[in-house]
Amino acid sequence: MARRIAAGAAYGGGSIGLLGVAAVGLVLAEVQLAKRTVGGGIAPVPPRGDGLYGLAFGRENPLLLGVLGDSTAAGQGVRRAGQTPGALLASGLAAVAERPVEVCNVALPGAQSDDLERQVTLLLADTSRMPDVCVIMIGANDVTHRMPPTESVRHLSAAVRRLRTAGAEVVVGTCPDLGTIEEVYQPLRFLARRVSRQLAAAQTIVVVEQGGRTVSLGDLLGPEFAANPREMFGVDNYHPSAEGYATASMAMLPTVCAVLGLWPESDRLDPDRDEGMLPVAKAAATAAKQAGTEVTGARAPWALLKHRRRRRLPAPHAVDETASPTEEEAEAQA
């Protein structure tokens, strides 16, 4: 199915439905139930995470990190800028690179993949400063708003192509597993999981084709969400909590560092960790089933499947560019 979606997007095919008509009729009642419970809380407006991180390493020659996507990329569900994915990734990247990192977050809560064109244009508006690496997190709203999957991945493919042409490395966090939402019951839970995984696999195929890398967000990255959903989801029971965003960012950080040549790369794959070289479609389908899995292109039509080891993120500290870091902030950044 992922291959069909990607092929339909590439060759201008029409919509490829992920659910049959009978299945849609079967879950109508549960959809209405989920609508009454999911989002019942009030998710705070995401704080602005833009700024300069890692000031312990100075202010000169910062890496530029662009963040694009939907509410998950924006950090909706938390109240502090330092708890957003962009801030967490910037702090971790600064610690690994030992240089400051500037964040430009153009993600929009509620965005679908067709908003990526606007976001990329906004990010690339300053032609004097192109981003070094971009992180995209998108797909959940495409599923919930029933955007045709071929259209969804076509927009994503175009966005990755534009960013790569501008010289930026690209890491995409694929569509999360909507079947992990606590208030979604069977059989809707099974169908939501199936749709999410199929879209995630198709996203991986088109991203790898454009020279980017993907990390499977799956059940929002790790068994922690399945084991502790009340801690990992925010007040609206839909968006991640601060702990959830930290878990997701920790899983994506190694890949963000790797695309910039800051993470050790080995040609030796570890079969004990289910790493290997597979046809890209098979690698995409495998990654969609296991959260935190990285897929990167090799020689066509092959792709590398990796499970990078997670490391604890340093405490994020967004600092105004005109301010001097305190002794405590400098120690934390170091």
Give the active site residues: 71, 236, 239
Q: Give the distance from CA 147 to its chain's centroid.
A: 18
Residue 246 Cα distances to 94, 196, 271, angstroms? 16, 22, 28
- Strand order of the sheet with strand 294-297? 51-53, 101-105, 63-69, 133-137, 169-173, 213-215, 294-297, 302-306, 276-279
| Cα end-to-end distance, the chain, whole Å | 46
CA atoms of 286 and 306, how far apart (whole Å): 11
| Rounded Cα–Cα distance for residues 27 and 22 (Å) | 9
CA atoms within 13 A on the CB side of 307: 15
Q: Is 276 exposed, middle or buried (0-12, 13-18, 19+ CB in 10 A)?
A: middle
Question: How is residue 149 written in tokens?
Answer: 């999957």
- Contact of 309 with 253, CB cutoff 8 Å: no
